[in-house]
Amino acid sequence: MSRARLSPALVVGAAISVVFVASALLSLVWTPYDVAAFDIGHRLEGPTAAHWLGRDHFGRDVASMILLGAGNALAVSLVAVLLGAGLGVPLGLLAAARRGLIDELVMRASDVAFAFPALILAILLTAVLGPGAINAVVAIGIFNVPVFARLTRGAALSLWTRDYVLAARMTGKGAARISLEHILPGLASVLIVQATLQFSLGVIAEAGLSYVGLGAQPPAASWGKMLADAQTLVSVAPLQAIFPGLAIVVTVLGLNLLGDGLRDRFDPRLDEER
Amino acid sequence: MLEIRDLALTLADKPILKGLSLSLDAGQVLGVVGESGSGKSMTALSILGLPPRGARIEGTIRFEGRDLLDLTDAELARLRGDRIGMVFQEPMTALNPVMTIGAQVAEVVRVHRKASRAEAKAAARKALDRVGLADIPLTRYPHELSGGQRQRVAIAIAVVLSPRLLIADEPTTALDVTTQAQILDLLLRLVREDGAALILISHDLALVAEAADHVAVMKDGEIVEQGETGALFAALAHPYTRALAADAARAPVRTRRPDADAAPVLEARGVVRDYPGRRSFLKAAPPVRVLSGVSLAIRPGEIVGLVGESGSGKSTLLRALMALDPVQGGEVRLAGAPFTPNAPRRSRRAIQLVFQDPNGSLDPRWTVERLVAEPLHLLDDKLPSTERRRRVEAVLAKVGLPAEAADRYPHQFSGGQRQRIAIARALIAEPDVIALDEAVSALDVTVRAEVLDLLARLSDALGVAYLFVTHDMGVVRGLTDRVLVMKKGEIVESGPTAEVFADPKHPYTAQLIAATPDLDRALAARR
């Protein structure tokens, strides 16, 4: 039962995720070219030594746009996950600790939320609230809430039956304190895994919203927006669609691999043996 | 029929079994005793050809003239369930919860014999009749049966094809005392009827002494001593066997006698506890009465045993005494004041609980210091961290653990040490009463004796009273001053331990005592 061994999925997933986060952070301070500078003369130019991934329909450097797109994707999905976990985890803990009416309310509300296709409703929400990165974050984040609430409640319920929780109850500790001291730390591993998976869903959702023009607005760069722009030109300049598409696929794949790898590593059966 | 020569098993370069030799004839019962980790179960799994992945086995296991270690997996699979049957400790996990019991017994027949569905079903019926489940339909699922009935189904699966060799690994450990005795009798009767051989693996010396013709005592992967049961126990030649026998019968020495006239620290007066009935769509069923007017009193420094089988209401009574659940009638009084779930936090200091399973009762993510200090939450004043640490170290010293233990995590300790940590946690708030819920049941014989000694010493030194809730009459006999026998939510007998054991008034008490394996009695019966 060596826990030191890393699965290949975990290593590859972690590597891709690190590259993704690093490019996103890099784009905050530096990009190879200024993407505000249009150069219509060199529009749709293929990859060159100076512009590795070529130029887009305004003559902007595609590599710089991809980097900035990573930044946008990271920011939107990170905040969406934090929003979802920040509301969902306390709701789940509360439902598990109090049971009864509160439990019913939280669970039925999340049933209702699950009944709607998340992305479609996110489109509806952004259409009502108006397009933009902030509204996209809210729309994606809201659908993370029931996911985290349910997961937290289920796992917390099983922890509440443990003898050490009973021991804590006998010391007169309240439900809130026990939730924080005994339950939440026991949930950390499942929550981290779920956060990783929700993160990858967030990247897809952000790309989807931007693709239909409801996500990040110009001049902000987004992979979904880049795909949408490239679509009309796909017969003239197919590479325009390949690079942002590849960025989305590789990032999502990496995050999923990371999530699955972490899940295997935090396997509850191994957990008992620690 | 079975002959094991120089069996050695290594797992990840660690020797688990070291040169084991055993032999067994048809019709014989071989008892294998030893503590956990001694290699008892590994021996059984090796015979079945089911050693853990990556294990290296040397030696020979000759069964009916063939060396099992030379056989292919397919050949072994044909033997298992047919020529060799196996009964495990925990019937709930050994049975498939989504298959009817009839289908599970019939499956074995269909796998090993060319039998039609109807023939297999008939064989299953016959096997279940043999194990005493004649009035249970084949269409029942495991969860619809009691623990004892489930173990009977597991035995039916093992004996349906009349194997020549039956291996039973702690077959009665998970069961109640009276059920244990019935299951053991059943196993012995079946092997006698079939003329088969039985390997009975157990940690319980008395049980093996009662049932087995030959005994092998295992320690650290070796058989330290083996021989005919009567002779082996009469001689107790090997020091380890002697130590095991002594530990099993150990009665800790106590110097302090409780004051019979003192006011009780914990008292229950006519406690009634109902569970709400099962709620159906519109109306609720009437509540189920679990405790019907239970009264008891524990005086300072007294050690009281509360015995009864599962379902007798022991745990419910304990929860009511700990004021974890509200009572529907009567009252619980702690240190002279009413004790209810709404009692002020500091009043809880006077009563603490030690659980059965130290793995489950210690949060694996907390250090020992934090765990042991948790009940300090009950004190009104928050202690500075140096004072907290000092108290933790002091109480760890009392239970025989070093001060450094405070910085480690529960998984770094053995089972016995973990139970010491749990006891330290119960002691730190200086309670008047400690309730021990099967607190030594999960421990090995020698460790159990050590923990019982520790508890007796602590009672002498601190004058703390214990309520020992258990199904194990042996523990009660050795340690307690007084015993309460519980059945169906009522206390049917109570009195000084020695008197109750010498002259039980209630037939249920007599039944419990008779069903408990007893080394002296078993050996006397042999002579």
- Predicted local confidence at residue B282, as pLDDT: 66
- Mark yes or no for CB contact B324/A169 under 8 Å: yes
Cβ atoms < 10 Å from Cβ of A199: 24
What confidence score (pLDDT) does residue A130 get?
84
Across residues B456-463, what is the average pLDDT? 91
pLDDT at A274: 39
Is residue A7 included in any domain, yes or no? no
- Among the ranges given (A175-189, B82-96, B478-492), the one the predictor scored with the smallest mean pLDDT: B82-96
Of the pLDDT bands very low, low, confident and very high (cuts 50, 70, 90), residue B280 is low
Reading across the β-sheet that carries B214-219, which strands appear in turn? Answer: B84-87, B165-169, B197-202, B29-33, B214-219, B222-228
Say which residue, A174 or A6, is predicted with more confidence.
A174
Q: Rounded to an integer, what distance in angstroms lies between the CA atom of residue A73 and that of residue A75? A: 6
| Token pair for B85 | 């049957």
* Chain-chain contact of B411 with A168 (C-beta, under 8 angstroms): no
Structure tokens at B475: 């523990």
Q: How far apart are CA A94 and CA A84, in angstroms?
A: 15
Of A210, A100, A108, A200, nearest in space to A149 by CA: A108
* Structure tokens belonging to residue B110: 């269909």
pLDDT in tens, A220-271: 889 999 999 888 888 888 888 899 999 999 999 999 999 988 888 776 444 4
Q: Find the CB nearest A164 among B322, B345, B362.
A: B362
> Looking at the complex, does the CB of residue A169 fall below 8 Å from at least one CB of chain B?
yes
pTM for the model stands at: 0.83
Judged by a CB distance cut-off of 8 A, whether residue B378 touches chain A is yes
Torsion of Cα atoms, B181 then B185 then B186 then B188, to 10°: 140
Residue A15 to chain B, least CA–CA distance (Å): 29
Per residue in B175-213, pLDDT tens?
Answer: 888 888 889 999 999 999 999 999 999 988 888 998 999
Residue B375 sits at the chain A interface (C-beta within 8 Å): yes
For the question of an ipTM over 0.90, the answer is no
What is the band of B473 on the pLDDT scale with cuts at 50, 70, 90? confident
Question: Which residues face B353 on adjacent strands?
Answer: B435
Question: Which of A166, A173, A186 lies nearest to residue B377, judging by beta carbons?
Answer: A173
Model confidence pLDDT, tens digit, residues B389-420: 999 999 999 999 999 999 999 988 988 899 99
Nearest CA in chain A to B346: A172
| pLDDT at position B281 | 65
Please check whether residue B411 touches A, CB under 8 A: yes
Length in residues, chain B: 527
Residue A160 lies in a domain: yes
Tell me which chain B residue has its CA closest to the CA of residue A187.
B365
**Which residues in chain A are closer than 8 Å to B364, comparing Cβ atoms?**
271, 274
Residue B279 — pLDDT band, cuts 50, 70, 90? low
- B360–A169 CB contact, under 8 Å: no
pLDDT of residue B432: 93
Q: Do A167 and B378 touch (CB under 8 A)?
A: no
Domain span holding position A151: 71-273
Residue A2 has pLDDT above 80, yes or no: no
Closest to B471 measured CA to CA, from B520, B513, B423, B507:
B513
Q: What is the mean pLDDT of chain A?
A: 87
CB contact, 8 Å: B352 with chain A? yes
Q: What is the DSSP string of A120-155?
A: HHHHHHHHHH-SSHHHHHHHHHHHHHHHHHHHHHHH
Q: Average pLDDT of chain B?
A: 90
**A185-204 residues touching B, CB cutoff 8 A:** 185-186
Average pLDDT over residues A197-207: 92
Segment B69-122, tens digit of pLDDT: 888 889 999 898 899 999 988 887 889 989 999 999 999 999 999 889 999 999
CA of A27, closest CA in chain B: separation in Å? 39
Average the pLDDT over B474-479 and give the result: 85
Please tell me the predicted confidence (pLDDT) of residue B284. Answer: 67
DSSP B425-438: HHHTT--SEEEEES
What total number of domains does chain A contain? 1
- Mean pLDDT score, A199-221: 88
- Residue-wise burial string across A47-84, b where 16 or more C-beta atoms lie within 10 A, e elsewhere: eeeebebbbbbebbbbbbbbbbbbbbbbbbbbbbbebb
Residue A20, domain member (yes or no)? no
Window A:146-165, CB contacts with B under 8 Å:
162-164
Chain A residues within an 8 Å CB radius of B360 = 162-164
Within a domain: residue A23? no
Does A65 fall in a domain? no
- Answer whether residue B214 shows pLDDT above 90: yes
* pLDDT score recorded for residue A121: 81
Cβ–Cβ gap A167/B348 under 8 Å: no
Distance in Å from the first CA to the final CA of chain A = 10
Assigned domain for A8 exists: no
Please tell me which residue of chain A has the smallest CA distance to B373.
A171
- Is residue B290's pLDDT more than 50? yes
Establish if A38 belongs to a structural domain. no
Å from B398 to nearest chain A CA?
20
Q: Which of B353, B362, B365 sits opposite A170 (nearest CB)?
A: B353
Burial class of B450 by CB neighbour count within 10 A (0 to 12, 13 to 18, 19+) = buried
pLDDT tens-digit profile of B304-342? 999 988 888 888 999 999 998 889 989 999 988 999 988
Q: Does B56 touch chain A (CB under 8 A)?
A: no
Q: Is residue A180 part of a domain?
A: yes
pLDDT of residue B246: 86
Find the helix or strand (DSSP H, E) in which B79 lies: helix B73-79
Mean pLDDT of B486-509: 93
Please give the pLDDT value at position B13.
Answer: 84
**Is residue B348 within 8 angstroms of chain A, CB to CB?**
yes
Instruction: Say if A170 is an interface residue toward chain B (CB within 8 Å).
Output: yes
Q: Do B348 and A172 touch (CB under 8 A)?
A: yes
Give mean pLDDT, residues A79-104: 94
User: Which residue from B minimizes the CA distance to A185?
Assistant: B365
Which domain CATH number covers A88?
A: 1.10.3720.10
| Helix ranges (DSSP H) in chain A | 8-29, 62-98, 100-115, 118-129, 133-160, 163-170, 175-178, 184-211, 223-231, 239-265, 268-273
- Among candidate residues A205, A65, A207, A209, the one with its CA nearest the CA of residue A132: A209
pLDDT top residue among A258 and B526? A258
- Beta-carbon separation of B355 and A166 below 8 A: yes
Interface test with B, best of A171, A184, A190 (most B CBs within 10 A): A171
